[in-house]
Each structure stands twice: as C-alpha cells, then as structure tokens.
C-alpha cells in the first residue's frame, strides 16, 4: 500500500518492499538529485530487512516522475543532438565500436540462436535503437525481427527511420505487440520502472519458454558505490528507484519464476560511472572538472574494474524461465 505526500508542491509516494510487504524498512542513505545539487540531500534510500533490497522511498508518482527526465541529458539520446560536443562524439565512438559491440556479442553468445532460424528480439528502453542495430549487424546467420519500446517519441521515430526498428512509444506495461519474444533486453531500465512486480510478470508472459532475458543494472555493492557514497552516479535519484545486488536480484527473479543462469561485469561502466561521479563531486564542491577529473576517473575506474562480478560497477544478468 502506497501513501501520498507533497514535496515542494510535487506529489510523491511511499511504498512497501517489492520483495515482501512485511519487511522492515531502515534508512540507508540520503542523497541529492545530480541535476539539482543546490537542493541538497532531498531523497532517501531505504534498505529492506532482511532481504537487503535498497530502494528510493518516498519516490515520485507515475504522474510526476516525468518531470525528472530530460532526454538530451542522457547518453543514449546523443544521436538526437543537432550539434554534439567533442565529448559527445568521443562517447559515440567508444559506445559504437566498444560498448555496443561487446554487448551484442555477449548476448548472441548466450542466446544460442540456430543458423538460418527466425527470432524476435525486443529491446525495452531502446532509445534510438543503436543496440538493436548492432545486434542485427553481428547476427549474420539468423533472421532477426527487431522490436523496441521507448518513452521518447523523437527517439522512437529515429529508431524507426534509421534502424528499421518496429518501435512503439510507451513502457512495457502500456505497449503490447501481440507476440512472444526469443530475446528481451533491458539495458539500465529495470531500476527505473515504478511497477516492478507487474513488469516482471509481463516479462514472464511475453518471453518464449526457451527465451533469454538480459538485464543490466548498477550494483550498490560495487567498490565505486562505496567510494563515492551519495555522489555515486549509479544511485541517480530520483530516476533510479531500485538498487539490486546480484544476490537480492536472484531472490526477486525466483519469486517470478525466473532463474539467473549467468552474469558478468560491464567493464567500461566502471570508467563511465567514475567519470560522472567525479563530475558530481566537483559540482557539489563548486569546482571545475578539467584534466584532473579525467585522471581521477581513470584511476578509480581501474580500481573498480579489477573487482569480481559481485562487486562490479554494473552487472549484466542472463535470465531464463524456471
């Protein structure tokens, strides 16, 4: 049962633990919105006991959460920028030739598609469709039908026109393609959804019996999360609503008749999260970034990248039905 409040004329709500409504909720960390640091530590993370799930509570409602999203501030939307900066261009190159390629090859390796067969792949939160395009680029021996779901209308149009993606505007619970999927991917999406259990229930319905669900999320047990604390980019309040460790996520999956079959780190996310966290720290201290910021990010990102998967900055989970 949720309870509504008003925070500075903006409606928010409190919720029970999605794992077990009877769990005791204890304060975990107060933190700011990285896009509005001047407001101070206005958001609260709680930890559910005994499961260990960390989540934002209270949080924005379905009616107000949209006010905290500005698509042009998010890297997946760089393709939409009319005049990308040098940093945007650099990120695009790294993303295209390293990150997206790594993700596509990792997914195809575990999907085990059979040569010459036809498969349906759905990317939830597909942004401009870049991952789906990369997936198809490497799936040369199979026939892939590409689907996507995205909240940004501009991004949907781009995905349709540039990548021939069958994309629809909305979220998983509001969009229905009327088919089941062999592959469903969610790259840093599940931590954003308001109706977590309903989302997992629908994922189970639309995934084929032998299908593969791929979910990537930040890891609050990571070295960089401990190091940066409230300024860790992975917390990203109030947009990130849940923070799963691998063990806690495995518990949630079992409740929804899924099983975790494999997982690995996203190495470049260590550097990405370190760089953005360094920027948040600098802004919070009224400082400019500059070269020192990049040097610190490389050093600390390297430390984070040396951790095993349980302490990785971001984790990719490979999931099948029980």
How much is the average pLDDT of 40-54? 97
For residue range 81-98, what is the model confidence (pLDDT) as tens digits? 555 554 555 555 566 557
The per-residue pLDDT for 111 is 96
- Cis check: omega of the bond before 161, within 30 degrees of 0: no
How far is the C-alpha of 164 from the C-alpha of 187, rounded, in Å? 20
- Distance between CA 61 and CA 2 in Å, rounded? 10
What class has domain 69-187? alpha beta
Phi, psi for 201 (deg, rounded to 5) = -65, -40
pTM: 0.90
pLDDT given at position 289: 72
- The pLDDT of residue 91 is 55
Q: How high is the pLDDT of residue 71?
A: 45
Say if residue 50's pLDDT is above 50: yes
Q: How far apart are CA 135 and CA 231, in angstroms?
A: 33
> Span 217-231, mean pLDDT?
97
* Sheet containing 54-56: order of strands: 24-31, 43-49, 54-56, 242-243
For 67, other C-beta atoms within 10 Å of its C-beta total 10
Q: Which residue has the tokens 């005791």?
A: 24
* Digit-coded pLDDT (tens) for 234-293: 999 999 999 999 999 999 999 999 999 999 999 889 999 999 999 999 999 998 878 889
- Which long-range CB contacts under 8 A does 51-54 form with residues at least 24 apart? 51/17, 51/19, 51/20, 51/23, 51/248, 51/251, 52/245, 52/247, 52/248, 53/17, 53/18, 53/19, 53/23, 53/242, 53/243, 53/244, 53/248, 53/252, 54/28, 54/220, 54/242, 54/243, 54/244
Q: Predicted confidence band at 66 (pLDDT cuts at 50, 70, 90)?
A: confident
The fraction of the chain above a pLDDT of 90, given in percent, is 81
- Please report the pLDDT score of residue 4 as a whole number: 52
User: How do the domains of the chain map onto residue ranges?
Assistant: 69-187
C-alpha closest to that of 234 among 222, 252, 246 = 222
Give mean pLDDT, residues 131-143. Answer: 93
* Pairing state between β 54-56 and 242-243: antiparallel
Cα four-point dihedral sign 95, 98, 101, 106: negative
How far, rounded to the nearest angstrom, does the alpha carbon of residue 171 sit from its chain's CA centroid? 14
Mean pLDDT (the chain) is 90
* Residue 312 pLDDT exceeds 50: yes
pLDDT at 213 over 70: yes
Report pLDDT for 72.
43
Residue partners of 33: CB distance under 8 A and separation at least 6: 39, 42, 43, 68, 237, 238
* pLDDT, average across residues 95-104: 80
């Amino acid at each position: 049962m949720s309870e509504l409040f008003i925070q500075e004329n903006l409606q928010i709500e409190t919720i029970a633990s999605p794992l077990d409504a009877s769990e005791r909720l204890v304060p975990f960390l107060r933190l700011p919105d990285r896009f509005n640091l001047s407001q101070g530590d206005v958001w609260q993370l709680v930890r559910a006991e005994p499961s260990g799930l960390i989540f934002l509570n209270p949080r924005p409602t379905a009616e107000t959460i949209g006010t905290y999203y500005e698509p042009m501030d998010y890297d997946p939307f760089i393709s939409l920028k009319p005049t990308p900066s040098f940093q945007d261009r650099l990120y695009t190159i790294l993303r295209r030739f390293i990150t997206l390629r790594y993700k596509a090859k990792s997914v195809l390796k575990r999907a085990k598609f059979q040569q010459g067969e036809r498969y349906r792949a759905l990317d939830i939160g597909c942004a401009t469709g870049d991952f789906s395009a990369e997936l198809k680029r490497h799936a040369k021996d199979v026939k892939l039908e590409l689907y996507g779901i995205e909240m940004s209308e501009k991004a949907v149009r781009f995905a349709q026109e540039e990548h021939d993606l069958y994309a629809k505007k909305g979220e998983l619970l509001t969009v229905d393609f009327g088919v089941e999927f062999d592959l469903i991917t969610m790259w840093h999406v599940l931590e954003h959804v308001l109706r977590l259990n309903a989302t997992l229930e629908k994922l189970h319905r639309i995934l084929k019996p032998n299908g593969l669900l791929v979910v990537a999320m930040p890891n609050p047990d990571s070295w960089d999360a401990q190091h940066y604390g409230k300024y860790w980019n992975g917390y990203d309040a109030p947009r990130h609503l849940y923070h799963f460790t691998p063990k806690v996520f495995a518990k949630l999956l079992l409740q929804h008749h899924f099983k975790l079959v494999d997982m690995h780190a996203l190495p470049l996310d260590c550097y990405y999260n370190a760089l953005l966290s360094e920027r948040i720290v600098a802004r919070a201290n009224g400082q400019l970034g500059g070269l020192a910021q990049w040097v610190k990010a490389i050093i600390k990102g390297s430390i984070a990248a040396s951790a095993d998967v349980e302490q990785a900055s971001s984790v990719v989970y490979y999931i099948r039905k029980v």
